[in-house]
């Protein structure tokens, strides 16, 4: 599916397009989220900035509260905007779509239900964004997992999934056949995010349980971050409870109240529209750092998941979990209270190739024994299990356990249980699964030795947890992969539950869980609601026909909440309406939360049995000896009074089937569907026209310079006019032995000034080097290693993954050899100079001359500096040094840029290295009369009297600008062009010519496509010598004059001055 696209939404209400810009530069669709447009000035500015800095596809999203400004926004849209996402009501949708379509803008409509999708299709929408219940902001009832299935089944427009998208669930969405995915909260901690720090800190701690959804009963649900004591959320909650207007008016009031408090300020005054999937932000940012990195990581993850799932076929018939269960399919029928309490139904599931579980719920011992006895008799040697509740009273649990031990079912499953409870059963030879609702509990359970798990999302019927399937599953897969070594994962048995019911949903699970299967984990699915649609469910009397009929009619489920954390999903029936009315009455009366919970739980008692079995407790049982315990309920009373616990997938099923057909569809057809998938393809490349400019970005900088150990200190020295020139330190060498103020004095120097690095600590272990080798390695090589490390850290690539095989090292270095090499040269010359007395001279040198070792040769060569960096940082590109005298560093940059332009390499560490500040170097410069006697270079000054020489190391990290933008790198500057030249046949080798320098300048500006008249400050070589400065100034002024620059329109200087 080459058209699979990722949409990156900016945070609602922030009006900062940075994330959208980064996404467009990464080759995806960046979208500026205009939840409202009340501040027209900031809205226009944000759109203009988006258009100016984006490099690929980008668009805007118009929320319902931005629609009053629709005409103004659309009329002012830049022509480059080709996509608009609309989130608006049905009444204005068709008109808005028509206006945008007339401007050749693709319109995606954000929907939360199949009804909204059908309205959007009728209005002419080009695509749909399926916004799931777990996403932040305004949402509907269905989660992304269920809504996506619903839309893909019932309409033909392309669909993007929004909500619960992570590294694993993205693969599920791709496997479903969606057009793409939408990210928002997941990008909140990337480098480009400008959310306030308190918001980022809160997101960094999230595990998916920290949000609340308010307003669902009004048909206007809003999901936001909520922790105890947050005044804004508590105010909204109270205001919601007190709304007394008619439904339509109350809904409008509610929307206005929420919108007035939407923002990213203090949670006491504003609500943060975060989804459960904000829990993915921290791990994604840790792994990928930038928006571009996350998008590329998602595409790579989709590729890997799909390929792995196709290879391992985790849900196919006779797969690893099926073999472990001794069943035909890796499918488990989950224990359903008042449904899976019939041995005949368990037999039907087992004969159909699945593993059935009886729901013991609150059964007393004798009832449990009767059920287990019948099941054991009917199923014989077939596999089955019992489902128990870990939180029932101790006395009841002991009753149940006593019977379970007596009958020893092949498996057990504990809901709301603990590993110690599972161990009790496993000691009796009963492998036991544990329901685990959170990543924190999973970590604890793993530490406690548990290895069989059920991960059930909020989509399921009956009692539900806080997290949607996508959010829970993605988090749990991450925990398993992180917490257990690959070898231990093979001991894990994992069941995914909540929204699984057919080939489509199963293929999504298989793609998502592929990394677990690859590492040996045994993966399967647990079904519940789907069995309500089987012929055997009614034939075995697990449910009455009326329950199945109600399931067939179900188009929407609701959550009946008795109190915080206690919600039950059931069909939207007359009893659900009665429940909500009673809850509203209790709230209006000002009842306490405990009173409300007790009243509502009493209201629920017996309702499920009415629905599933068509019976209720006889009103005279216990009073009249002749009265039976249970009495039949008429069909109409069943519909009116029954609570039909059922999952969201009920809305996706409209016919019955056999258990075998259900299992075959999930396992076999789901695997066949997955086998037909192709890989999604690598990250989209940024489309750029061919251009002359180099377009190379500087993304990392490090330096070690006199009085400046890093780039920040160097910059501050420049701003504060700090000179790095000092007398030659006696710790380096004694200048007084060489000094003579007379420049003509033989073997003497006339300047005692220079730039020297401070002592720099170096830990060889950090670079994998033996400590005893350091004495044989020139410090320049060691400092170059340290500078390379600092540059990578500054660029964000010290720990971030990147293609090291296409990373090169180019260094500028001159002088022939360093201090260590000079010392070895001297030592090797002693016999020539002193003959037989050489050993005595060596002994009298006081250890100043280094010993020859196996590390000496590589340690003294300048060219090994680049190779050592490539070796220690595992780079596979080119590595070399270049010597062009004073232009060595610039030449290194020139060559590095060419490497990038020709795509021979993708990243280059380029730098200049020089630590040769010894008597030899000073004598060289003294005899050319280039040194300043005062040690104070005065570049371009009439009083200039020469240069001061210095040591130092500077390292840059270079990438192609398009790649840097795609990857979300910080860009310090862009190299558009480099020019070089030679003077030709000049008067002397060391005498510069203006003509030669002008050639280099003109070539650089021609390459860049920039006029020199646009430059305000020229950073020159600035030797500080009369002839050098005069030549350079003449070349610059001539070039500017020829380009048409007015006099005195630019400044020239040199940081060396």
Does 1 have pLDDT greater than 60?
no
Q: In this structure, what are the phi and psi dihedrals at residue 937, rounded to the nearest 5 degrees?
A: -60, 135
- Architecture of the domain spanning 313-538: Alpha-Beta Barrel (3.20)
**In the chain, helix, strand, coil percent, each to 5?**
45, 15, 40
Does 684 have pLDDT greater than 50?
no
Q: What is the CA radius of gyration of the chain?
A: 37
Q: Tell me, what's the pLDDT at 990?
A: 65
* CATH hierarchy code of domain 5-196+279-298: 3.20.20.70
- Name residue, tokens 């616990």: 645
What are the DSSP calls for 671-733, one per residue? HHHHHT-----SPPPPP----SS--EEEEEEEEEBTTBSSHHHHHHHHHTT---EEEPPTTT-
C-alpha torsion angle, residues 991, 993, 997, 1003 (rounded to 10): -130
Number of residues in the chain: 1057
Does 49 have pLDDT greater than 50?
yes
In the structure, what pLDDT confidence band is assigned to residue 462 with cuts at 50, 70 and 90?
A: very high
What are the DSSP calls for 232-247, one per residue? HHHHHHHHHHH--S-H
Q: How far apart (Å, rounded) are the C-alpha atoms in residues 107 and 880?
A: 53
Report pLDDT digits (tens) over 568-604.
999 999 999 999 999 989 988 889 999 999 999 999 9
Does 149 have pLDDT greater than 70?
yes
As a whole-number percent, the residues of the chain with pLDDT over 70 amount to 98
Q: Considering the chain, what is the average pLDDT of its residues?
A: 92
475, two tokens: 């988090």
Q: Taking a C-beta distance cutoff of 8 angstroms, is the pair 836, 828 a contact?
A: no
Q: Tell me, what's the pLDDT at 9?
A: 98
Q: Is 29 helix (H, G, I), strand (E, B) or coil?
A: strand
> How big is the CA angle at 345 (ends 344 and 347), to the nearest 5 degrees?
65
Does 470 have pLDDT greater than 50?
yes
Report pLDDT digits (tens) over 388-426.
999 999 999 999 999 999 999 999 999 999 999 999 999
Q: Tell me, what's the pLDDT at 173?
A: 98
Of 101-115, 809-823, 943-957, minimum mean pLDDT range: 809-823
> How big is the CA angle at 224 (ends 141 and 233), to the nearest 5 degrees?
115
Q: Tell me, what's the pLDDT at 1024?
A: 74
Does 622 have pLDDT greater than 70?
no
Report pLDDT digits (tens) over 352-398.
999 999 999 999 999 999 999 999 999 999 999 999 999 999 999 99
Report pLDDT digits (tens) over 845-887.
878 888 898 987 877 788 889 999 999 999 999 999 999 888 8
**Interval 726-730 mean pLDDT:** 93
H-type helices in 141-246, by residue range? 144-154, 169-176, 197-204, 231-242
Q: Tell me, what's the pLDDT at 988?
A: 65
H-type helices in 590-731, by residue range? 593-604, 607-613, 635-641, 659-664, 670-675, 711-719
The terminus-to-terminus CA distance of the chain in angstroms comes to 59
Q: In this structure, what are the phi and psi dihedrals at residue 1023, rounded to the nearest 5 degrees?
A: -70, -25
Q: Tell me, what's the pLDDT at 2?
A: 44
Q: Taking a C-beta distance cutoff of 8 angstroms, is the pair 107, 125 a contact?
A: yes
In the structure, what pLDDT confidence band is assigned to residue 984 with cuts at 50, 70 and 90?
A: confident
Does 985 have pLDDT greater than 80?
no
Q: Is 272 helix (H, G, I), strand (E, B) or coil?
A: coil
Report pLDDT digits (tens) over 170-222.
999 999 999 999 999 999 999 999 999 999 999 999 999 999 999 998 999 99
Please state whether 137 falls in left (phi above 0), alpha (psi between -120 and 50) or beta: left
Report pLDDT digits (tens) over 292-310.
999 999 999 999 999 999 9
More confidently predicted of 188 and 938: 188
**Interval 669-688 mean pLDDT:** 69
776, two tokens: 């044989």
Does 682 have pLDDT greater than 60?
no
The alpha carbon of residue 917 and the mean position of all alpha carbons in its chain are separated, in whole angstroms, by 48
Beta bridge partners of 743: none
In the structure, what pLDDT confidence band is assigned to residue 989 with cuts at 50, 70 and 90?
A: low
Q: Tell me, what's the pLDDT at 410?
A: 98
Q: Residues 6 or more apart from 983 whose CB is under 8 A from it?
A: 992, 993, 995, 996
What is the domain partition of the chain in residue ranges? 5-196+279-298, 211-273, 313-538, 981-1057
Same fold, 5-196+279-298 and 313-538: yes
Q: Tell me, what's the pLDDT at 229?
A: 86
Report pLDDT digits (tens) over 511-561.
999 999 999 999 999 999 999 999 999 999 999 999 999 999 999 999 999
Q: Is 225 helix (H, G, I), strand (E, B) or coil?
A: strand
Q: Tell me, what's the pLDDT at 687?
A: 42
């Amino acid at each position: 599916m080459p058209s699979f696209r990722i949409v990156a939404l900016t945070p609602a209400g922030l009006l900062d397009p940075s994330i959208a810009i980064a996404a467009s530069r990464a080759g995806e669709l960046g979208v500026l989220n205009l939840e409202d447009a009340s501040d027209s000035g900031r809205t226009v500015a944000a759109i203009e900035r988006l258009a100016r800095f984006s490099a690929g596809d980008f668009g805007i999203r118009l929320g319902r509260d931005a629609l009053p400004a629709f005409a103004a926004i659309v009329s002012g849209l830049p022509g480059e905007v080709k996509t608009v996402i609309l989130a608006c009501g049905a009444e204005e949708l068709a008109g808005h779509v028509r206006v945008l379509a007339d401007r050749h803008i693709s319109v995606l409509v954000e929907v939360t239900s199949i009804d909204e999708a059908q309205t959007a299709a009728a209005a002419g929408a080009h695509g749909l964004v399926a916004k799931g219940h777990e996403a932040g902001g305004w949402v509907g009832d269905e989660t992304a997992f269920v809504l996506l299935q619903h839309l893909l089944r019932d309409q033909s427009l392309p669909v993007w999934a929004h909500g619960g998208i992570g590294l694993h669930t993205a693969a599920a969405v791709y496997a479903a056949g969606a057009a793409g995915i939408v990210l928002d909260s997941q990008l909140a901690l990337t480098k480009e995010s400008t959310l306030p720090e308190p918001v980022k800190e809160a997101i960094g701690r999230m595990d998916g349980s920290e949000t609340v959804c308010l307003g669902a009963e009004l048909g206007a649900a809003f999901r936001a971050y909520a922790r105890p004591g947050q005044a804004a959320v508590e105010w909204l909650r109270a205001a919601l409870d007190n709304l007394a207007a008619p439904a339509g008016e109350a809904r409008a009031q509610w929307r206005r109240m929420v919108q007035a408090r939407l923002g990213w300020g203090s949670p006491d005054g504003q609500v943060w529209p975060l989804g459960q999937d904000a829990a993915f932000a921290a791990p994604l940012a840790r792994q990928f750092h930038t928006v571009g990195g996350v998008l590329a990581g998602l595409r790579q993850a989709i590729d890997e998941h799909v390929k792995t799932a196709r290879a391992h076929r985790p849900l196919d018939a006779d797969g690893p979990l099926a073999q472990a269960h001794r069943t035909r399919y890796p499918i488990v029928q989950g224990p359903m209270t008042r449904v899976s309490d019939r041995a005949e139904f368990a037999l039907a599931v087992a004969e159909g190739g699945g593993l059935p579980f009886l729901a013991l719920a609150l059964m007393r011992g004798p009832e449990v024994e009767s059920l287990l006895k019948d099941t054991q008799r009917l199923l014989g040697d077939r596999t089955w299990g019992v489902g128990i509740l870990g939180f029932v009273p101790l006395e009841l649990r002991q009753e149940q356990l006593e019977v379970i031990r007596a009958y020893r079912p092949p498996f057990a499953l504990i809901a709301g249980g603990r590993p110690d409870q599972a161990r009790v059963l496993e000691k009796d030879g009963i492998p036991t699964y544990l329901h685990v609702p959170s990543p924190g509990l999973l970590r604890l359970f793993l530490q406690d030795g548990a290895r069989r798990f059920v991960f059930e999302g909020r989509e399921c019927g009956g009692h539900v947890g806080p997290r949607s399937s996508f959010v829970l599953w993605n988090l749990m897969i991450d925990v398993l992969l992180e917490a257990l070594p690959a070898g231990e994962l093979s001991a894990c048995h994992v069941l995914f539950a909540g929204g699984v019911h057919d080939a489509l949903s199963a293929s999504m699970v298989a793609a998502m869980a592929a990394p677990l299967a690859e590492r040996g984990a045994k993966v399967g699915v647990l079904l519940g609601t789907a069995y309500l649609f089987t012929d055997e469910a009614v034939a075995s009397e697990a449910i009455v026909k009326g329950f199945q009929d109600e399931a067939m009619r179900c188009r929407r489920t609701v959550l009946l909440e008795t109190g915080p954390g206690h919600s039950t999903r059931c069909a939207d029936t007359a009893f659900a309406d009665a429940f909500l009315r009673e809850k509203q009455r209790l709230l209006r009366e000002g009842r306490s939360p405990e009173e409300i919970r007790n009243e509502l739980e009493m209201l629920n008692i017996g309702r499920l049995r009415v629905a599933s079995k068509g019976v209720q407790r006889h009103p005279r049982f216990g009073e009249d000896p002749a009265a039976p315990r249970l009495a039949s309920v008429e069909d109409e009373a069943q519909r009116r009074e029954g609570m039909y616990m059922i999952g969201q997938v009920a809305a996706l099923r409209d016919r019955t089937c056999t258990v075998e057909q259900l299992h075959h569809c999930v396992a076999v057809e789901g695997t066949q569907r997955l086998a037909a998938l192709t890989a999604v393809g690598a990250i989209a490349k940024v489309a750029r026209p061919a251009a002359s400019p180099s377009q190379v970005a500087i993304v990392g900088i490090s330096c070690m310079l006199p009085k400046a150990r890093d780039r920040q200190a160097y910059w501050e020295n420049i701003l504060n006019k700090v000179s790095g020139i000092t007398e030659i330190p006696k710790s380096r060498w004694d200048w007084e032995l060489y000094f003579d103020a007379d420049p003509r004095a033989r073997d003497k120097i006339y300047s005692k000034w220079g730039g020297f690095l401070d002592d720099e600590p170096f830990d060889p272990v950090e670079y994998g080097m033996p400590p005893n080798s350091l004495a044989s390695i020139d410090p320049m090589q060691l400092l170059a290693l340290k500078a390379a490390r600092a540059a990578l850290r500054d660029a964000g690539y010290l720990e971030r993954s990147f293609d090291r095989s296409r990373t090169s090292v180019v260094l500028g270095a001159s002088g022939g050899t360093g201090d260590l090499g000079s010392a070895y040269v001297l030592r090797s010359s002693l016999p020539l100079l002193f003959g037989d007395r050489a050993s005595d001279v060596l002994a009298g040198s006081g250890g100043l001359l280094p010993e020859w070792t196996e590390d000496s040769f590589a340690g003294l060569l300048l060219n090994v500096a680049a190779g050592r960096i490539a070796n220690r940082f595992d780079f596979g590109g080119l590595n070399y040094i270049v010597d062009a005298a004073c232009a060595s560093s610039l030449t290194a940059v020139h060559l590095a840029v060419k490497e990038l332009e020709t795509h021979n390499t993708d990243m280059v560490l380029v730098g200049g290295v020089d630590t040769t500040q010894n008597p030899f170097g000073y004598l060289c410069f003294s005899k050319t009369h280039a040194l300043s006697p005062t040690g104070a270079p005065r570049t371009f000054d009439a009083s200039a009297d020469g240069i001061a020489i210095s040591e130092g190391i500077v390292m840059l990290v270079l990438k192609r600008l398009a790649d840097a933008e795609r990857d979300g790198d910080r860009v310090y500057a862009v190299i558009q062009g480099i020019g070089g030249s030679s003077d030709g046949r000049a008067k002397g080798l060391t005498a510069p010519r203006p003509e030669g320098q002008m050639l280099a300048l003109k070539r650089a500006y021609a390459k860049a496509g920039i006029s020199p008249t646009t430059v305000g400050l020229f950073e020159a070589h600035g030797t500080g010598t009369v002839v050098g400065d005069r030549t350079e100034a003449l070349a610059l002024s001539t070039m500017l004059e020829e380009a048409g620059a007015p006099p005195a329109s630019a400044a020239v200087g040199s940081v060396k001055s």
